[in-house]
Structure 1
Amino acid sequence: MKRFIGFVKKEFYHIFRDRRSLFILFGMPIAQILLFGFAITNEINNVDIAILDHSNDATTKEIINKIAASKYFSIQQIITHEADIPSVFEKGQIKAVLNFENDFSKNLINNHKATLQIVTDATDPNTANTISNYVNAILQQYQTELNKGITTPYQIVSQTRMVYNPELKSVYMFVPGVMTIILMLVSAMMTSISITKEKELGTMEILLVSPINPFQVIIGKVVPYIFLSVINAIVIVLLSIFIFHMPVQGSLFLLALESVLFIVSALALGILISTISKSQQTAMMISLMGLMLPVILLSGFIFPISSMPVPLQIISNIIPAKWFIIIIKGIMLKGVGLQYIWKETLILLAMTIFFIALSVKKYKIRLE
């Protein structure tokens, strides 16, 4: 019995000395519950909207102030012409435009009826529906206050118009997100085990004594997988178009270039994981657990980032998938060109360079 107790104590010592095991046992569950608790929500908060006020009277200003005072919306832009609405949505930040009709207050007083059009970006149909419902709830509350003690009630009629996805097809949201997740996880996993595999097979010594420098090793590991991942991306796009009838409003050439950039970014991240991992098992675990949850929860694929706590919004900026989803939705659903997605493209490019540079540095450290 004493031998068994001694053996159990030894196992406890081994576990407590292994920081990776402790992180998996205690760190991962805490991180997961915090992510799921804060990121998964059907509510919206601080959604960026624009205002188009043709009437510009006391009543419209009062309604706008009520909307601005709510925690659900943040008024980022005031536009003056309906022709500006498409360009506002193409930039990607604004999710809805509230369009007040001419003589809004006059119509409300004389006819006891006025119209407000809610134009929403329906590339994310769930968020578009929620925005419409929240605006209607605020309008209903305003009407209730306005009609106290009045025999003939005033009525504000809201008309909702969904742009880019008028039929509210959920596939328009899921195809770009699933494409991003597949390319991210498959590409990262394929390269994350490349260098660790060399170590476990004992062929690392050949690389150590070869005249190939670390940068050439890193690039050499990435290049074959670029070709394979591009084939994967082509298959996904073809299935999306011909099976799910996903539209491609923009340039296929631009979509291809952006996809290659994202693939290289994911592969470079996989190589970085490979250089800091001691075994294939560790590399696979980091790739799956360390990338899957952030990509699904913090990329804006399912849950709007603007509704998350500020710390998670900040963390989401370092997730490459977030920027690629903005790019792919812009090209496929909105038909935008590089002039609208250049910032996201530069961010992905900078991340790719950073991952490759850090991989080379880590590889050099391990060579010494």
Structure 2
Amino acid sequence: MKGKILGIFGVLVVLCTYLAFATSDPWWNLGTSKFLQPGNIQNLLNRLSLFGILGIGVAFVIITSGIDLSIGSTVCLCGVLLSILLKVDYQPVEQIAVSQIVASEKMIIADAVAGELKPGTTFRYTGGVGSGLVLTTESSSISDGALRIRIKENLTRNEKDGRLVVASPVTRIESGDAVVAEVSSDLNVNVGDQLQLVKADGAVTTQKVSNVETAGTTKRLTLAKDPGEKYRADAFAIVLQRHQRTSIPVAILVVLVVATVLGLIHGLLVTKVKLQPFVVTLCALLIYRGVSRWLTNDNPAGFGELQEVLGPVASGRVGLLFRGQEMVFGIPIPFFLLTAIGVVASVFLGRTIWGRYLLA
């Protein structure tokens, strides 16, 4: 076994040596080798980490004389599930469902759950031909279990569905070291939410809120960027609250449980039902791939804004060489994960009774 490992290691050394000289110009000047460039070494370590971690898992299957064709599809399915569990949505704080619009009477009939609206209350209607327009309440009342809102603006046609979202007037927008929008202190907004700025003609832009300060009857909201001159006057604000389906630790735990259950099912089908590993894992490959495509509707799946949090785990580096403040070379964080998993696997196989049993 040791001789075989040394042989494989020797082949890798010879291959790397060849590539180092083959990509040099002239061939003996290793300082010009493209293979030995820091960026290429970092990329190799990153790729090695991914496939190395997967390889350690497959090694246990191969040691027991098994085979697993579904590992790629399993990784894909777990990645898709993780992105779904960590999906972030932004929804208005309160929405009122519309059941009917009578244009001739300037009347909107909606769900009465929200209660009556005060005269002068502004809201944005979405769902029909007039979708996106900001309307103003003239009066409202509740009758027959429905909220009847009479508006000041003229409507062009009747509608049978849609929704209303209350919009608060923006006092002003300042631009300086930071872009600050002043709104009513009654507006329920937190850091991380989005502020949707709308105009009476339906124009809309969305900005992320990075800071909230309350001063008397107003709130000063620091926006990610300047919405433009168009929204500095006569604009209305709608708060889109941030909703993340699950926390990162819970999502990772769920994915690990799913992967463990899938592996357990494979094992039971092979050991108890006596199906061939090739057949089990080939069918699993097709099933997991199909489920992944169905869950994503054949679209790319990612982590969105959480990429800033999760990205360093996959692409972060521990710097070793610097040129001033610039990192020239660093070891990718996944390589440390590979090393840790490799050490644990080695100890398990070589130092425990269960590992020796597998190798026997």
TM-score class, shorter-chain normalisation, is under 0.3
Greater per-residue helix proportion = 1
Largest Rg, 1 or 2: 2
TM-score (normalizing by structure 2): 0.24
Structure whose residues are more often strand by fraction: 2
TM-score (norm 1): 0.24
